Structure 1
Amino acid sequence: MDWSGGREALVVCSDRSMSVGITVWDMVSGDQLLHIPTCAASPHGLLCLREQFLVASQIHRHGSLGGGAIFIWPLNKPQSPLRNYPMEAIGPVSCSKDGVYIVGGAPSGNAYIWEVADGRLLKTWRAHHKSLTSMVFSDDDSLLISGSDDGMIRVWSMISKNKRFCLFLEKFEMIHFCELLINLDGSLLDIADCGRFPSLFHSLLEHTSSITGLLSISGSSSPVLVSSSLDGTCKVWDLIRGRLLRTRVFPTAITAIVLDPGEQLLFSGSADGRIFVSMLDTGLVVDPFKVPEDRPIVLNGHNRSITALAFSRLGLVSASRDCAAHLWDVASGVIIRRFNHPKGAITNMVVIPKSSLLSVTNHQRFSNQFRVSLLDKYPQPGNSSMGMITLLPLCCSHRVHLPTIGFQSTVSLNQQILDLEQECTPGAIQMKLETSIENRMWAARMTKHVMEMNKHLQSRLLDLMQNRLLLSADSTAARKRKRAMLESSRIQEEEQSQLPSYQ
């Protein structure tokens, strides 16, 4: 990774007002490099996509009408953001490690998955009963972990159940069954099977308050999840077994967590501004020479709640609601640099290579193409013609090797079904049946979404009408009181004028 000599930039934003925007500082000099107006991101609502784009979910004021908003800015050229408007407000956002997919969580408990290149909304589902507060992919992107306001953590498998088509291959007077693994673009997600993913893998219920942070690491023998909560604990989980390994208790609510680059130290930011430094003990490997830790090291420098923690090449970076971000020398516990943000409390922070802000050359543009499209508001049918599907040749032996199979478009699939239908094979009937069921499922989901939106809008309209009637009744009563007062004063004036005057 070429980071322009190792120079980095710090990107922060607030949830106070859209006018505050995004501020970008040079990590070494502290100089402001860039200011992007019109942004107020929800907590965990800012991310850097492929070191080329900033993505931010915009705050949704309570009681306001309409859906949510997700803005996407290219870093290497100044231009207006790509404005996306999902069906509802989006809070936390995350992306897969390769930047192919973006996920978002809503206050309603719904989760959304988009494909970045063409903007397709691949799936929306009810992930939690309460508002989502944090979302993260596992290291290999095979799992999605979500946390909610009620302390529940859910682990979702992003690998769909393999579709199995039975093609009857007649050769040597025998019938051989071949199972075809459907994978639309060679990735883990199966778009044609999007009605079935993600499937619930685990529900983790040990936290008793809102989830504030989720970290996924590969671990020495098994993938590990580290979670933090307002209940004052950090917990370490075995992701595969869904088993709690360790619990670390702190004297106050934990609001943000991060691991050092070596994944040995856990930094836990608290509601009172302290940052606790402790050894990460996964419990998966027993170390007989390990000395038990009595108490964590504490970094003091903020006077309000820690909202975000990150690591740069220069050290630990912390952001707080005290309108400041600090760069720390972890070894000495000393603040190297302070970044003041007087426009409002910092609620989101990411560290990016400073080279991401530079204009790309023609060579870079050619060799590192990455397209971002408008994100769909509604899910599309799973058998879109843009998808890719793996197919076996019509005529092949039972010794066919899967690595030699090429990719064909869904149009080719339909043509192959047509060819098989003309031969009246059972495989064609099976394919046609699965396609029909898929289309019906998509239509049912769309109908449900429309009904939910209509119900939501009706509720909003009723609230507005009720408020308007209350205001109208209040104004009518005020006018009546005013007329009564005027009438009373007029009568008094007439009575006074009729009294005899004495010279």
Structure 2
Amino acid sequence: MEPEIIIASSPTDAGVSCWDLRTGAEHLRYRSCASPLHGLTSVAGRFLASSQVRDAKSSTSGSILYWSWNKAQVEVRSFPAEPIRPIACNSQGTYIAGGGISGDIYFWEVATGKLLKKWHAHYRAVTCLAFNDDQSLLISGAEDGCVRVWSLFLIFDAVRREETRNLFEYSFHEHSLRVTDVKTGYGGCNAIIVSASEDRTCKVWSLSRGKLLRNVIFPAVIDAISLDPGEHAFYAGGRDGKIHIAALNAPISQNSNNGPHVLGSLAEHSKAVTCLASSADGFLLVSGSEDGMIRVWDTRTRNIIRVFRHAKGMSLYHSVIYRKISLFPLCHLWEPYRKYQVLISRICSPSGPVNNVMVTRQPQLLNPRTSAPTASSRKQALTLPPQLEKFANSPDENTHVKVLIGGQDPSNGIIDSSYVSVQAMEAQIRELQQKGSTAAAEVDMERLKNDQLRSVQMIQHWKTMYDDLHQFCVDELLEDVRTERPTHHNL
């Protein structure tokens, strides 16, 4: 099994922490990060991205930061047109979607930083975003209590947009309060959606039918959800400090005190559970809480197997000063020392609240905190993409959909992503056409040869199936004749 890491962040500028999921070894700690809920993501394992909202009352104080895996400093800073809270990235790392406090959704191309689309999605601030497993749909939740499903094909199709009345595929209004989290299952457009809200319910929706399948009522507000990979149940992190286990396809418990769909709970956190994530095999569940603790649970035994503390450690400067002051005799009676001691205790508070956790495959460039980056790892470091655009340069650019071409498989080594936009592809086509009809004819000939080869293979396949079916029917008829002949002879 490939090694996985836990990544956690805090809203109180306690930075981003990374640990090995299986061994517990700590990796680089990223400082100067105060991410909002759902404001942290790994961009296809190439680098980390986080939204920042320094002043909740300001409409222009937001940013999006990039970190590489082998440096603890922010490398790229972007300043969108408004503060962005939730961000989400598709699995290939081609696009980043962000939800604004105005209710708008922003859609950027990672390779160029271009703002491809912006549309008004909700009447109030967007609180959570998620792509479905085939990356064709974007699901959003907002403070208006609404969950909406957006087809990216429709968003980027100018003709269909003019013909349709609404940009969204579905709009679910059954939640009465702010939506806190959304998660999707497997199955593309036939999957399920699970949404959580401050109305103390989680609702299960069908993407294929656009209907509510199940309404689960909890004893506390739910801020985070995580689906079991088999989709028999889902986990719901509550403000009562418990992780509630609710049934999806599992048998319903009629004896539960918390409702027929709640199967049980995991209770070790002293404060609200704010975020949940699962390992790739689904056997480990990671929970983060306002108590600053991150716990790893074995979902089979429901026991804790590891605990992490998300703390903002003492800097080298403060630790040296602290040791020097402590050497003075009767330093505890010195008023300036006592004030500095209080300051140090605040800086080195045991832990900051955790509001984001995720589990991802360990990148090759990520080194343990105890070992410094080697020269070879520094040479292998990838150049991060440019900052995200604040505004679209022109209306025409928004009509183009960008694509990913020729990205290497992450399992084969370091990802050297080669992104090419539609404009670049069109330039290549024009260049090909300018070379003359010979080059174009060669392209057409190669395409026709491939089509012919596929047709011949399909004909052979159908011929084989026909011969097998014919032989089967003949054998069945002969067998019937053999079994019936003795009966007629006896008569």
TM-score, normalised via structure 1 length: 0.64
Report the alpha carbon displacement of residue 125 of structure 1 after superposing the two structures with TM.
1.6
Is the Cα–Cα contact under 8 Å of residues 67 and 87 in structure 1 kept in the other structure? no
Match of 2:8 among 4, 12, 20: 12
Deviation at 1:81, TM superposition (A): 2.1
Query: 1:50 matched to which residue of 2?
Result: 44
1:480-495 equivalences in 2 (<5 Å): none
- 2:450 is matched with which residue? none
Q: Name structure 2 gaps, 5 residues minimum.
A: 257-262, 311-349, 368-372, 404-423, 434-491
CA contact (8 A) 2:43 2:49 kept: yes
Alignment check: 8 A CA contact 1:15 1:345 kept: yes
Tell me the residue number matched to 1:347.
355
Contact 1:9-1:353 at 8 Å conserved across structures = yes
The 3-state SS of whatever aligns with 1:92 is: strand
Q: Distance in 2 between matches of 1:388 and 1:125?
A: 15
CA distance in 2, matches of 1:332, 1:415: 62
Q: Which amino acid aligns with 1:323?
A: G
Counterpart in 2 of 1:239? Answer: 207
Give the aligned CA root-mean-square deviation in angstroms.
3.6
User: Offset at 1:79?
Assistant: 5.1
Give the distance between the partners of 2:383 and 2:167, measured in 1 at CA.
29
Following the alignment from structure 1 to structure 2, what is the Cα–Cα distance between the partners of residues 360 and 120? 34
Change (3 A) 1:126 1:291: closer
Pairing of 1:347-366 with structure 2 (within 5 A)? 347-356=355-364, 357-358=366-367
**Number of residue-to-residue matches in the alignment:** 359
Distance, in Å, in 1 between the alignment partners of 2:244 and 2:174 is 21
Match among 376, 380, 390 for residue 377 of structure 1: 390
**What are the Cα deviations for residues 298-336 of structure 1, in whole angstroms up to 9, with x where unaligned?**
101012111110112561110000110101122222111
Aligned to 1:331, which of 295, 300, 310? 300
Change (3 A) 1:65 1:257: closer
Describe the shift of the 1:58–1:193 C-alpha distance in structure 2 as closer, same or farther (beyond 3 A): farther
8 A Cα contact 2:59 2:82, kept in partner? no
Secondary structure at the aligned position of 2:190 is classed as: coil
Aligned in 2, Cα 1:267/1:376: closer, same or farther, shift over 3 Å? same
Tell me the residue number matched to 2:426.
409
- Identical columns (%): 35
Cα distance in 1 for residues equivalent to 2:108 and 2:160:
15
Contact 2:291 2:351 in 1 (8 A): no
| Residue number in structure 1 paired with 2:232 | 264
In 2, the alpha carbon distance for the partners of 1:142 and 1:90 equals: 22
> For the structure 1 residues 386 and 323, does the alpha-carbon distance in structure 2 shift closer, same or farther, using more than 3 Å as the test?
same
Alignment deviations for residues 4-27 of structure 1 (CA, whole Å, 9 cap, x no partner): x6332211111013xx21111222
Distance 1:207 1:319 in 2: 25
1:364 deviation in Å?
A: 13
Structure 1 residues 369, 360: closer, same or farther in 2, change over 3 A? farther
Larger relative helix fraction: 2
The one-character-per-residue Cα deviations of 1:142-178 (angstroms, maximum 9, x if unpaired) are 11111011211111111038xxxxxxxxxxxxxxxxx
- Partner amino acid for 1:315? L
Asked whether 1:297 is paired with 2:264, we answer yes
Decide whether the 8 Å contact of 1:90 with 1:106 is kept in 2.
yes
State the one-letter code of the partner of 2:272: S
Unaligned 5+ residue runs, structure 1?
162-188, 282-289, 391-406, 417-503
Structure-to-structure mapping, 1:159-174, within 5 angstroms: 159-160=153-154
Given candidates 56, 60, 71, the residue that maps to 2:65 is: 71
Tell me the distance in 1 between the aligned counterparts of 2:114 and 2:55. 27
Contact residue 229 and residue 253 of structure 1 kept, 8 A: yes
Q: Which amino acid aligns with 1:249?
A: I
Aligned AA (1:247)? N
Instruction: Provide the secondary structure at the position in 1 that maps to 2:62.
Output: coil
User: Against the structure 1 CA distance between its residues 34 and 365, is the aligned structure 2 distance closer, same or farther, given a 3 Å change threshold?
Assistant: closer
Aligned ranges for residues 100-249 of structure 1 at < 5 Å?
Answer: 100-160=94-154, 199-219=167-187, 222-249=190-217
Deviations 1:201-253 (A, max 9, x none): 11100111111111112349922111111111111111133211111111111
SS of the residue corresponding to residue 159 of structure 1 reads: helix
Residue 65 to residue 95, structure 1, CA distance change in 2 (3 Å): closer
Deviations 1:324-376 (A, max 9, x none): 0101122222111111123310011111223441579999999x989622110
TM-score after normalising by structure 2: 0.66
Partners of 1:360 and 1:223 in 2: CA distance = 44
- Matched AA of 1:254: I
Residues 129, 326 of structure 1: alpha-carbon distance in 2 compared, 3 angstrom cutoff: same
Corresponding letter in the other structure for 2:357: M
Q: Distance in 2 between matches of 1:126 and 1:45?
A: 19
Could you tell me whether the CA contact under 8 Å between 1:148 and 1:211 is conserved in 2? yes
Equivalent residues of 1:236, 1:246 under 8 A apart:
yes
> Cα distance 1:231–1:34, how it changes in 2: closer, same or farther (>3 A)?
same
Q: Does 1:280 align with 2:271?
A: no
| Amino acid in the other structure paired with 1:155 | V
- Give the match's secondary structure for 1:28: coil
